[in-house]
């Protein structure tokens, strides 16, 4: 037996039944169908659902059109032309109309779709989708509250090209477009971890990502100098009063070698990661006395804090405290 029940038509008491019903306004959609066109792609959708999600489209549909204005139509339906990329509009509309398409983090998503939803949810004012897109970027590590890197720092749920700076530059471009300044410092840091020659390649020195590539090169230089400053304490010798002076000095030199191996031989410019690994190795190998290890941790913390605090400034951004406040406001955490 079917578990679903359907109301049968009864012409005699139809009016009295209608009077007893309460219409739930925000779940009572009109049947108006429109065609959205972006470049060479067209989409046929319910305008009422789009208007319910987006204040921009809601106002657009509510605004009366002049009677003498000839409106573009297709199959008798109003055509709304958007000046956005077709692939971006497709991802944006799928995120609105298909609840399984753009799931909350940590569900996997392709980077191009993520950034499309980020940009258009901001442009057309769809707050819940915008926060969802931002949370994906936070989960993927594009934002950091401190310089500390956790052990899962390199694991991402977004499908991206880890061998090219294009995704990092695209995130920076989109973050700037939606005024998410709090994403920019570490995003530029990540872009700056790529070799300078790769950042200088033609695809990145042309078009809309050019300014981001230039800032990534600035970050690359800052990271290289920061690596020198943050690892300088490893060149110091243990004090004469250290009972394990020779062993501690050897451990310190081995750690310095590991840092520079990571920066040069592996061709990656990620000083925070390499210094983090070097310090962890000092602890795990247990070859340095407790006093020297404590002193090494303290000096590295001082140098790394100074490096981290100076990161926003080189891009002309507000200090971290203001950026963290912006992030909390954007995510509705205040």
Q: Residue 227: its pLDDT value, please?
A: 86
Please indicate, yes or no, if residue 302 is contained in any of the structural domains.
yes
What total of structural domains would you count in the chain? 2
Please indicate, yes or no, if residue 209 is contained in any of the structural domains.
no
Please indicate, yes or no, if residue 81 is contained in any of the structural domains.
yes
**Integer Cα distance of 238 and 250 in angstroms:** 10
CA atoms within 13 A on the CB side of 72: 8
DSSP summary character for residue 159: E
CA atoms within 13 A on the CB side of 320: 14
Quick one: 135 and 235 in the same domain? no
* Domain interval for residue 246: 231-309
Rounded to 5 degrees, what angle do the CA atoms 176, 182, 187 make? 70
Cβ neighbours for 237, distance < 8 A, ≥ 6 positions apart = 245, 249
Which segments in the chain show pLDDT lower than 70?
1-18, 64-70, 149-162, 240, 264-268
Torsional sign, CA 319, 325, 326, 327: positive
Question: Measured between alpha carbons, how far is residue 211 from residues 79, 196, 274, 317 in Å?
Answer: 35, 15, 28, 15
Please indicate, yes or no, if residue 225 is contained in any of the structural domains.
no
Please indicate, yes or no, if residue 78 is contained in any of the structural domains.
yes
Q: What's the pTM? A: 0.85
**Integer Cα distance of 89 and 96 in angstroms:** 11
Please indicate, yes or no, if residue 195 is contained in any of the structural domains.
no
- β-partners of residue 74 are 77
Please report which helix (H) or strand (E) contains residue 158, including its range.
strand 158-159
Rounded to 5 degrees, what angle do the CA atoms 82, 83, 85 make? 100
Please indicate, yes or no, if residue 61 is contained in any of the structural domains.
yes
Question: Which CATH number fits the domain that encloses residue 126?
Answer: 3.30.710.10
Nearest one of 84, 88, 180, 188 to 134, comparing CA atoms: 180
Please indicate, yes or no, if residue 288 is contained in any of the structural domains.
yes
Helices (H), the chain: 14-19, 47-53, 55-62, 86-97, 111-123, 127-139, 166-177, 184-192, 196-199, 210-231, 245-260, 271-285, 290-309, 320-330
Torsional sign, CA 153, 214, 330, 120: negative
Rounded to 5 degrees, what angle do the CA atoms 66, 70, 73 make? 120
């Amino acid at each position: 037996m079917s578990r679903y029940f359907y109301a049968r038509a009864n012409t005699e008491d139809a009016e009295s039944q209608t009077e007893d019903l309460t219409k739930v306004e925000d779940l009572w959609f009109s049947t108006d169908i429109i065609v959205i066109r972006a470049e060479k792609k067209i989409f046929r959708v319910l305008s009422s659902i789009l208007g319910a999600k987006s204040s921009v489209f809601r106002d657009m549909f509510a605004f009366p059109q002049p009677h003498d204005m000839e409106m573009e139509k297709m199959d008798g339906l109003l055509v709304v032309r958007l000046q956005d990329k077709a692939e971006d509009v497709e991802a944006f509309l799928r995120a609105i109309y298909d609840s399984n398409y753009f799931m909350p983090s940590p569900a996997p998503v392709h980077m191009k779709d993520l950034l499309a939803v980020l940009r258009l949810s901001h442009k057309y004012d769809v707050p819940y989708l915008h926060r969802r897109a931002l949370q994906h970027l936070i989960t993927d590590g594009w934002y950091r509250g401190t310089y500390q890197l956790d052990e899962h720092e390199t694991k991402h749920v977004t499908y991206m090209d880890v061998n090219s700076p294009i995704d990092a530059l695209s995130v920076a471009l989109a973050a700037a477009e939606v005024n998410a300044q709090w994403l920019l410092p570490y995003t530029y840091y990540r872009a700056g971890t790529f070799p300078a020659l790769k950042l200088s390649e033609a695809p990145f020195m042309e078009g809309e990502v050019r300014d981001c590539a230039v800032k990534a090169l600035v970050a690359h230089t800052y990271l290289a100098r920061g690596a020198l400053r943050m690892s300088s304490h490893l060149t110091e010798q243990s004090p004469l009063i250290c009972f394990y002076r020779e062993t501690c000095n050897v451990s310190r030199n081995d750690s310095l070698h590991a840092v520079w191996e990571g920066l040069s031989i592996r061709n990656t410019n990620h000083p925070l990661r390499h210094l983090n690994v070097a310090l962890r190795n000092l602890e795990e190998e247990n070859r340095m006395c407790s006093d020297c290890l404590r002193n090494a941790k303290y000096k590295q913390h001082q140098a790394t804090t100074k490096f981290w605090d100076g990161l926003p400034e080189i891009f002309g951004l507000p200090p971290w405290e203001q950026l963290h406040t912006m992030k909390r406001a954007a995510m509705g955490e205040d």
